[in-house]
Amino acid sequence: MTTLNGKRIVVGISGGIAAYKSIELIRLLRKSDAEVRVVLTAAAAHFVTPLTLQAISGNPVAESLLDPQAELAMGHIELAKWADLIVIAPATADLAARLAVGMANDLLSTICLATTAPILLAPAMNQQMFRQAVVQQNLAVLQQRGMRLIGPNSGEQACGDVGAGRMSEPNEIFSAIQTALSTAQQFKGLKVAITAGPTREAIDPVRFISNHSSGKMGFALARAFAEQGAEVSLIAGPVNLTTPPNVQRYDVESAQQMHGLTLSLAPRQDIVIGCAAVADYRMETIADQKLKKQDGSDQLILKLVKNPDIIADVAALSANRPFVVGFAAETQDVLEYAAKKLQAKNLDMICANDVAVQGQGFNSEQNALTVLWKNGQQQLPLSDKFSLSQKLAALIVQQYQTAQII
């Protein structure tokens, strides 16, 4: 077992039946020589007792934001500063909602607002609750702010339902804690540029051509690289997403703007990843005034011209060419089209995803990819976009390093 000797970990427990698993998690942390302080919500105390948690952790259990004795020393601030990491297991739908809107109405949520330590959430709830759009939105917001998720798993639940919502097992959460606290930044020294989101091609001052890309995959990929020490430049189309920590963001609107900025940055990068859904065409001429309906006509004819192919132009650089990775979002014959693009655009790798499959791709919290390169391919199965991005980033760097040796 890899030691966590001296690491200071706050284990937050909220009110769900999976709280009993946290006892084993605390045992694993203590066995690995971590210092553990437990924070219990009022609801969680109905599932696991403070006495049990104190015995396992070796420290008094904190329960109340309004404990006079603890607050003599500003207990909640002290714990927030003390922690090297906060892990919340289980993280219920209620707690996720309160964290998402920035509430501080109990000790655990207040500590989360007052800390600069990384926060790891292990969601646990009924499968129907987990599938609700508002729950997915709350978890996505927390991830965008830098919180990490582990799980949930799928399987039989205490209520008898079967589906996604089971809290990850203690050994899985323990491994996630080890990863989060790892000081080894595997990508340190790498310079990576990533395009993300859609582009908007103006028709007139009030209308534009665009697509359904949310930018979530590109932003997750930027975060995955940055967390491992890479110097990341994120060229973003119009999206409503928070910039990941330690990422330099550049905002653009049109394909031509994205093309110009990407080509200017590319020669100074080790890796360039084209994750954006760039419009293939733009207006030949943008109208100066809003186009009006034409009396007696049921048609409006727009004359479009082809946009530059950003990732192909990066791959065609003759001097200081980076390692180039493309994306192929297709609705049919996905691998066939991706393989053709890999060769035709002279890419080093291409990531193919089937956006016709419900629940993955555009505007989804999950995705699945098949990654192709000259002499191989690897499938990355359906998972949340950040977990997928971590695996993809590692694979890209592996192939980049192989190319450097060759």
Annotated binding residues, as ranges?
A: 274-276, 280, 290, 308-311, 327, 341, 345
Catalytic center residues: 159
Residues annotated in a binding site for CTP:
274-276, 280, 290, 308-311, 327, 341, 345
What's the 3-state SS for the chain?
CCCCCCCEEEEEECCCHHHHHHHHHHHHHHHCCCEEEEEECCCHHHCCCHHHHHHHHCCCCECCCCCHHHHCCCHHHHHHHHCCEEEEEEECHHHHHHHHCCCCCCHHHHHHHHCCCCEEEEECCCHHHHHCHHHHHHHHHHHHCCCEECCCEEEECCCCCEEEEECCCHHHHHHHHHHHCCCCCCCCCCEEEEEECECCEEEECCEEECCCCCCHHHHHHHHHHHHCCCEEEEEECCCCCCCCCCEEEEECCCHHHHHHHHHHHHHHCCEEEECCECCCEEECCCCCCCCCCCCCCCCCCCCEEECCCHHHHHHCCCCCCCEEEEEEEECCCHHHHHHHHHHHCCCCEEEEEECCCCCCCCCCCEEEEEEEECCEEEEEEEEEHHHHHHHHHHHHHHHHHHHHHC
